[in-house]
Structure 1
């Protein structure tokens, strides 16, 4: 179903009701919940809404009360329906179109990208973004590997930022006497990832439960990154990405 079809039964409704219905439709079909007035206007224009140039979307949304929530200011200001707003729209608008598998997948990818965009470290965010790109095209093994690289980078950063080189070296050599002395940040790359996880736990960067779950993630990464018969599915790859984001970011 297209927006023009969805809004047709509301053609005699007031501007505010059609604006809210448009947001309701877009939220359900795009996986995005926050919209600028420009994005809403573009959708209404594509739906061939009559006399749209005369509509003051900001005023109509501003008078919608507790049906909407606004964030930001100026042209970057976004609007989203509240739970009350969704219930109100559902009461007067047509039923939403059934969600297709492709739309559901787009919604999941959009949600992941929103989480990835919130990662503050540029390098970790880039690796995590590549993981989602891989997931999006069905490259599940690659998605697992790239997300693990993001995790390792983040753990290395935390270990180096919160500990001294002497403490890091002592923790590493308590598990492997031959471990390299940590003199600079890049020396952490010389530690195998199982040792890095153990050092991070010893230094308080990770707690016991995080260490346990990240060890499982490392095992999955090892399976995905080496020639074998492992064929991880979409659900496993997506869960791997989500769990690492929740634990570390």
Structure 2
């Protein structure tokens, strides 16, 4: 998986997630893989699909989203992640299947990133990381 990532910054970030996974820090590996995936999508959209995303932002009526146009890549952080996924689907930037994956993984990330009594198995962390890398990061090439 690491060798498939050509961007050195992303590869080192994925390596950090793998390092966490290998020492048993499953929650941390999930959070890092999620951050990598979101950052990858932000870069992809800003570079190739900014106009399509801006059109959806302009039509937005959700008061939680205060921006109506992307002026920098950092503007994505002003959008709640669930809303970001919805916007990506509305703009037809991702398929419905990718939307389902992202929504499911967002729930897992939320459970992993916040104090809870759930247990994160090695299998769950493996599936989480592989699913995002194979179905999002490697699919949407920058």
Are the equivalent residues in 1 in contact too, given 2:26–2:120 (CA < 8 A)? yes
The residue aligned with 1:232 is 120
Task: From 49, 60, 78, give the equivalent of 1:174.
Answer: 60
TM-score under structure 1 length normalisation:
0.50
Following TM superposition, by how much is the alpha carbon of 1:136 offset from its aligned partner in structure 2, in angstroms?
Answer: 0.4
Q: Number of aligned residue pairs: give it.
A: 134
Following TM superposition, by how much is the alpha carbon of 1:177 offset from its aligned partner in structure 2, in angstroms?
Answer: 4.4
Is 2:12 aligned against 1:126? yes
Q: 1:229 to 1:201 in 2, by over 3 A?
A: same
What is the SS of the residue equivalent to 1:138?
coil
Following TM superposition, by how much is the alpha carbon of 1:171 offset from its aligned partner in structure 2, in angstroms?
Answer: 1.4
Q: How does 1:57-206 map to 2 (within 5 A)?
A: 115-164=1-50, 167-172=52-57, 173-174=59-60, 176-179=62-65, 180-181=67-68, 182-206=70-94
- Greater Cα radius of gyration, structure 1 or 2: 1
Following TM superposition, by how much is the alpha carbon of 1:178 offset from its aligned partner in structure 2, in angstroms?
Answer: 4.7
Q: Give deviations 1:13-65, integer Å, cap 9, x for gaps.
A: xxxxxxxxxxxxxxxxxxxxxxxxxxxxxxxxxxxxxxxxxxxxxxxxxxxxx
Structure 2 Cα separation of the partners of residues 225 and 148 of structure 1: 10
Q: 1:140 to 1:209 in 2, by over 3 A?
A: same
TM-score under structure 2 length normalisation:
0.85
Following TM superposition, by how much is the alpha carbon of 1:210 offset from its aligned partner in structure 2, in angstroms?
Answer: 0.5
Higher RCO (C-alpha 8 Å, min separation 6): 2
Structure 2 Cα separation of the partners of residues 122 and 175 of structure 1: 38
Following TM superposition, by how much is the alpha carbon of 1:123 offset from its aligned partner in structure 2, in angstroms?
Answer: 3.1
Structure 1 Cα separation of the partners of residues 61 and 129 of structure 2: 29
Following TM superposition, by how much is the alpha carbon of 1:125 offset from its aligned partner in structure 2, in angstroms?
Answer: 2.1
The residue aligned with 1:97 is none
Following TM superposition, by how much is the alpha carbon of 1:175 offset from its aligned partner in structure 2, in angstroms?
Answer: 5.5
Structure 1 Cα separation of the partners of residues 87 and 108 of structure 2: 20
Q: Structure 2: which 5+ runs fail to align?
A: none
Are the equivalent residues in 2 in contact too, given 1:131–1:142 (CA < 8 A)? yes
